[in-house]
Structures are given as structure tokens and as C-alpha cells.
Amino acid sequence: MPKMVFIDPDGTRHKVEAPVGLSVLEVAHRNGIDIEGACEGSLACSTCHVIVDPADFGRLEEPSEDEEDMLDLAFGLTKTSRLGCQIVMTEELDGLTVRLPSGTNNMMG
């Protein structure tokens, strides 16, 4: 089974199993990782914003226009920012590393 690493804002690393077919957001929630996901993965917010390790960024599919629009609202946006609900785990993404931003902008509340 593929694995992935979440890095908390304080630098703490969490290596977890990441079943194929689950989104990074779903993997986070299954493992008690603190990602909000206010819209429950419906691409209506930016609270599942993650910063993908630059070494892994090229392995991801291109973001959709809708994802890019939501990313514009994300706190601490970087060149390798993505929404966790839009990254679906595959065998090829084994070892994916993402950093959690230090905050989120929740427009849902």
C-alpha cells in the first residue's frame, strides 16, 4: 500500500498509509491529521490546502481551473500549493510528502 508523509506547521512528520483511490484529505482524516476540509471535498473552499514537496509536485495531475480558483483563496499560497481533496492517491504517488500551512481561510463559516 502506498504511504505518504504529512508535515505539521511545527515540523512534526506523520508517515501514514495512503490507500489507492482516497484523496489526501480523506487520508488525513483517517489518520487524525489536522486538515479541516470544511466543504467535505466538494471543491467549494480552500481549507484542505496543502503544500506539496517540490520533489513530488511534478508527479501530480495538473489542477483543474476550479481548483486553481479555490487555491486563490488559500492562506499562505505557494508555487506547489494544491487542495488535498483534489489529489487522489495512486501507486505512483507512493511517498508523497505534503506540508500543512500555518493557517486556513474558511469562507464557509
Q: What pLDDT score was predicted for residue 75?
A: 84
pLDDT in tens, the chain (109 residues): 999 999 999 999 999 999 999 999 999 999 999 999 999 899 999 999 999 999 999 999 999 999 999 999 898 899 999 999 999 999 999 999 999 998 665 555 4
- Return d(Cα 48, Cα 35) in angstroms, integer: 6
Nearest to 16, CA basis, from 98, 103, 104, 102: 98
Q: What pLDDT score was predicted for residue 106?
A: 58
Query: Euclidean distance between the first and final Cα of the chain, in Å?
Result: 36
Which DSSP helix (H) or strand (E) runs through 99?
A: strand 96-99
Q: What pLDDT score was predicted for residue 92?
A: 97
Domains of the chain: 3-99 (3.10.20.30)
Residue 72 in grid coordinates: 486563490
The reported pTM is 0.92
